[in-house]
Structure 1
Amino acid sequence: MKNIFVQIKCELGKVYEVAEHIVDQLEETEEVYSISGAFDLMIKLHLEEDEDIGRYINDRVQTIPGIKDTFTLMAYKAFK
């Protein structure tokens, strides 16, 4: 399994709707955080090794209504 973190910038007033959609519709979601800074949410996804990350983000995340922008980070090793 691969751990992927995605920072999400939402349209104004849409953070809670986007977070609810992610929790309800993306079964690969491990955690969803409201964060400060340039982005509104950060999600941790647990994807299969053979999953095409770019296609998953493009097809499943960026198409969620209320999302303006995403920034994807790949985790290589968990130390704890």
Structure 2
Amino acid sequence: MKPFFVLIKCELGRAYEVAAAIADREIASEIYSTAGDYDLLVKFYAEHDSDIGHFVNENVHSVSGIRDTKTIPTFKAF
């Protein structure tokens, strides 16, 4: 399994609703609220041969209340 992170910008006042919707789908390893340009930082795991872009498009972008995302793939743990 390879971890990757998604920064999520939510519609105003909907960060907790979006976080709850992602948690309800049981697809995220960890969900954090953040301050700054993005509202949430979410850690996911994908199979080594899976397409992260497809996963995000199908499982994250379909959550109501999301305005923007930034996907951060990872390569090696230290």
Fold match (TM-score > 0.5): yes
- Fraction of identical pairs, as percent: 50
How much is the aligned-residue C-alpha RMSD, in angstroms? 0.8
1:35-73 per-position Cα deviation (integer Å, ceiling 9, x unaligned): 111000000001111211111111110110000000000
| 5+ residue gaps, structure 1 | none
DSSP-derived class of the 1:29 partner? coil
- Count the aligned residue pairs: 78
**How far is the alpha carbon of 1:77 from its aligned partner?**
1.2
| 5+ residue gaps, structure 2 | none
TM-score by length of structure 2 reads: 0.94
Correspondence list, 1:58-73, <5 A: 58-73=57-72
TM-score by length of structure 1 reads: 0.92
